[in-house]
Chain A
Amino acid sequence: MKFVLLTLGLWAAPAFAEPTKPAPTPPPAAKGEIVERSRVEINPAGHAFTSLAVDNPLGDVRVEGYDGNAVQIETRKHAPDEDTLDRLRVSLVPSADGSVRIATLVDNGKEVKHVSRSQVRIDLVIRAPRKARIDATTSTGKLSIENLDAGGELDSASGSISVKNVAGELLTHSVSGQTSLVQVFGSVDAATISSDVDLDSINGEKLVASATKGRIAGRRVMSRDVELTTTDGRIMLESEMALHGHLVISSVNGDVEVRLRRHGAINVRARAVSPNKVDLGQPANLIEHTAGWTVATLGRSSDPMASIELMSKYGAVSLAVIQ
């Protein structure tokens, strides 16, 4: 009997557990903090929106592409009191040429109570037409864009930059924000000063990345021309080389490690802190040493060729070719 009741109970459970959509919960407010959420939608007057410029020095920016024409902005403002909250503004300026400019700022009235930057915040979550180009700037806030088709330019000081599933030409720069690009179809230029750059599944004509004091790690890189540069950090690249591709990887202090899939002939030049720190994965009879460079040609030299240059001034260089 107990067994029957138990089974009955188990069966009965799903009837009551209908899937419901809970209201989205706001982030927990800090003690004594006020959080205000609002939503705005702008529809295009004439032709569709072609570009979005977002400037938010006060918090995070997230832009998601979607299959619609309007630009939808969800704003979350955090402030220690009502008066300060009133000072936090989001300005929206659509233009006739199809661009929309969104900026956050702190208003200054006649008499304001002084608050520090750490006490206020405005986070923006924006849904934009997929074909809109995105130019976005943050200061310490995170910057992330996803599912967009017209590329753009992303700029942060210390906030992280995250890009996923974006087509089109892309530029990113940050001073100390971790940069991560995943699934990008188009030419890329990514630069940081003191943070790392992570690349995964990049495909396009050109990939240029530099991290002055960070490391660069790339996997599934299929861009035709690749240039990676660091001063202090390691560079690790796993790439698939095109028939006429060109790879230049260089570092001052960091080690350079490349794993390459290639088809067709390639010309390899490499230099490290000393010749015995260059490992091209080739038998000795295929390698030459000329003017401090270690050189190898894989495939007949009359073939159309891809070329690779690997350099590390004070570190080691290694290449593993997977034919």
Chain B
Amino acid sequence: MSATLSDDAQLIAACRRGEARAMEMLYHQFKRRVFGMAHRIVGPNDAEEVAQEVFVRVFRGLAAFRGDSALSTWIYRLTVNASLSYLARRGRRQEVGDETLADVPAAPEVSRDPGLAARIERALAELPPGYRAILVLHDVEGLSHEECAAILECRVGTCKSQLHKARARMRELLGPIGGTPQ
């Protein structure tokens, strides 16, 4: 992200002081990604609950945040951890039917192939949670390998091989996608 270090530091300091406006700004800055990641890992029914839990942890944990990592890395790490442990606690796989997809809030840009998007969302829901997390971080949210490794607290190499396996699994679930050979 291009936010400067001092922007982050100032925002964190203001949030630590309990300044309502700073807290709201931080929320708005990260809400899309936190909610999006939670939604795609735990499913539409539980996403809001998990996202709320993440932000509560963020604001209560800011005092102890030492700035070893970027603010965004820390927040996304909390998001992934909260989502995965939520799944572990609930012990169930999310079910995504057409009716729940219809509830997904409208986005500014329309997906160019809604049929494929629906199939991908369904297949994502069937993946083991660990694979789901790395695909969401790298391929859906567009974070780099380095950022993903920092968020998942693993080596970059491990991250890449997990990604490869996750994509292979997705391809199995999806079947042919329909791109013509080059």
Contacts and interface: CB of A to CB of B under 8 A. Distances in A.
Direct contact of A and B (CB under 8 A): yes
Interface SS of B by simple majority: loop
A137 to B, nearest CB: 23
Interface of B: 1-3, 16-19, 21, 24-25, 28-29, 32, 63, 107-109, 112, 142, 179-182
Contacts of B142: 220, 222, 240
Given A22-B17, A164-B29, A200 B180 contact: no
Task: Give the top 6 A-B pairs by smallest Cβ distance, nearest first.
Answer: A147-B28, A200-B2, A185-B108, A299-B182, A21-B18, A186-B108
Contacts of A200: 1-2
Contact of B2 (A66, A147, A182, A244): A182
Contacts of B179: 263-264
Nearest to B107: A185
The contact size tier of chain A is 35 or more
A300 B29 contact: no
14 contacts: A19-B18, A22-B17, A64-B21, A64-B28, A65-B28, A67-B24, A127-B21, A146-B25, A146-B28, A167-B108, A185-B108, A200-B2, A244-B112, A264-B179
A123 B1 CA distance: 28
A220 B28 CA distance: 20
B112 A243 contact: yes
Contact of A198 (B2, B16, B21, B25): B2
B61 to A, nearest CB: 14
B18 A204 contact: no
Contact of A21 (B1, B19, B29): B19
Given A64-B25, A65-B28, A303-B182, 17 more contacts: A19-B18, A22-B17, A24-B19, A66-B28, A127-B21, A164-B3, A164-B29, A165-B29, A182-B1, A182-B2, A186-B108, A200-B1, A204-B108, A222-B142, A240-B142, A265-B182, A300-B181
A242 B112 CA distance: 10
Interface in A261-299: 263-265, 299
Contacts of B2: 180, 182, 198, 200, 219
Contacts of B28: 64-66, 130, 146-147, 165
Interface in A177-200: 180, 182, 185-186, 198, 200
A146 B142 CA distance: 22
* Residue among A164, A198, A204, A240 with max Cβ neighbours from chain B (10 Å): A164
Nearest to B24: A66
B66 to A, nearest CB: 16
A168 interface: yes
Interface string A15-51: 0000101101000000000000000000000000000
A67 B28 CA distance: 9
Given A299-B182, A300-B180, A21 B17 contact: yes
Contacts of A19: 16-18, 63
A186 B108 CA distance: 6
A215 to B, nearest CB: 15
A127 B107 CA distance: 24
